Amino acid sequence: MQSAKIPLPYFDILLEHINLGDAAVQKTFGRHVHWGYWENPWKADGSVDDFAAAAEQLTQRVYAAANVKEGDRVLDAGCGFGGTIASLNENFSNLNLVGLNIDPRQLERARQEVQPHGNNQIEFVEGDACQLPFADASFDVVLAVECIFHFPSRADFFHEARRVLRPGGRFAICDFVPLPVFNPIRRLLTNKVVSAVEDTYGRVNSECTLADYRKLATDSGFTLTLKEDITGKTLPTYPVIRRLFEQLDKPDSAQATAEVELVSRLGLLRYLILGFTR
Ligand SMILES: C[S@@+](CC[C@H](N)C(=O)[O-])C[C@H]1O[C@@H](n2cnc3c(N)ncnc32)[C@H](O)[C@@H]1O
């Protein structure tokens, strides 16, 4: 079932179970494939319905950071199963929405699941976020929801995002951002921990600090306009995902998720929403 151009083991697992009609997987990750956002994390009840609602909240917070408005042309880079495009389609009208993904299997599901309404137009395009197949200055908004850590180069993606945005265009992302002190600590971690995470989540680079993001923005011609640290609001995600992997008989993936949970709970790995303008 592996046909993505880059290995994405967790998508192999998700697609296998979605195609088998697994209701828990469909509810948890059939639309959004990212962490949840709980305004009141202590009220999280651990259910898949509660998680799906929180995942929708996270998406809405990211596109709010880009101030999407009627009439915009919006690119969602690394669009997964099209959940962010679906949410924009449900909440706005007169948008031109483009979802881009490197994995044609995900795009196939997105095309099946997301139908335009409210005078919106929707297109799903196969491609690499670091080589965007779009004209210069052709979008008002670029989004990248919890995916930039997979891209071959953040710098290339920032340059591409700036190129395809019109002057004044808005760019918003969310990402796992380490405290500077965590990077040297992480290099001391055993290969076993590192490869457990890669065996589940594929190639992940989560070494980009906030200072690195500020430099990326400056170097590529963006101004950082919003920085929201939502780490605490995302933490109820971890038990849900760990339990799901255990139910799917993937104990190594549950363990890899627990490693990420630990450094998040220790505050070493932050979850940030960042907004930029061109
Ligand atoms: C954690 S998922 C997030 C999916 C979606 N943004 C969401 O929030 O539901 C990461 C996504 O990045 C995509 N991806 C990874 N590398 C990519 C690349 N170089 N170009 C475009 N998409 C990529 C994956 O296929 C996957 O859909």
The 10s digit of each residue's pLDDT in 250-267 is: 888 898 899 899 999 999
- Residue nearest atom 23 of ligand 1, based on CA coordinates: 78
pLDDT higher than 60, residue 99: yes
Ligand 1: centre distance to CA 219 (Å): 24
Ligand 1: centre distance to CA 35 (Å): 13
Q: Ligand 1 pocket: which residues have CB below 6 Å?
A: 6, 8, 32-34, 77-80, 83-84, 100-103, 106, 128-130, 145-147, 150-152
Of all residues in the chain, what percent carry a pLDDT higher than 90? Answer: 83
For every residue of 41-87, which 3-state class applies, written as one string? HHHCCCCHHHHHHHHHHHHHHHHHHCCCCCCCEEEEECCCCCHHHHH
Using alpha carbons, select from 139, 164, 172, 210 the residue that is nearest to residue 64. 172
pLDDT higher than 90, residue 18: yes
Ligand 1: centre distance to CA 147 (Å): 5
Ligand 1: centre distance to CA 142 (Å): 14
At residue 192, the pLDDT reads 65
Mean pLDDT of the 45-70 span? 97
pLDDT higher than 90, residue 191: no
Ligand 1 binding pocket mutation candidate from 101, 164, 234 (most atoms within 8 A of CB): 101
**Residue 2: band (very low, low, confident or very high) from pLDDT cuts 50, 70, 90:** very low
- Residue nearest atom 22 of ligand 1, based on CA coordinates: 78
Ligand 1: centre distance to CA 79 (Å): 6
At residue 4, the pLDDT reads 57
Span 193-203, pLDDT tens digits: 667 788 888 88
Span 217-232, pLDDT tens digits: 999 999 999 999 999 9
Q: Which residue has the higher pLDDT, 184 or 79?
A: 79
d(CA 102, CA 122): 17
At residue 185, the pLDDT reads 80
Ligand 1 binding pocket mutation candidate from 6, 51, 102 (most atoms within 8 A of CB): 102
d(CA 34, CA 241): 10
Ligand 1: centre distance to CA 23 (Å): 22
Mean pLDDT of the 101-124 span? 97
Mean pLDDT of the 228-237 span? 98
Mean pLDDT of the 74-85 span? 98
Ligand 1: centre distance to CA 103 (Å): 8
**Residue 1: band (very low, low, confident or very high) from pLDDT cuts 50, 70, 90:** very low
At residue 203, the pLDDT reads 87
Kindly report the number of other CB atoms within 10 A of residue 70's CB atom. 11
∠ CA 17-75-86, nearest 5°, is 45
At residue 198, the pLDDT reads 84
d(CA 142, CA 151): 15
Mean pLDDT of the 227-245 span? 96
Distance, C-alpha 238 to centroid of its chain: 15
At residue 190, the pLDDT reads 62
pLDDT higher than 70, residue 47: yes
Ligand 1 binding pocket mutation candidate from 81, 84, 150, 156 (most atoms within 8 A of CB): 150
In ligand 1, the atom with minimum distance to the C-alpha of 81 is: 9
Ligand 1: centre distance to CA 149 (Å): 9
Domains of the chain: 9-277 (3.40.50.150)
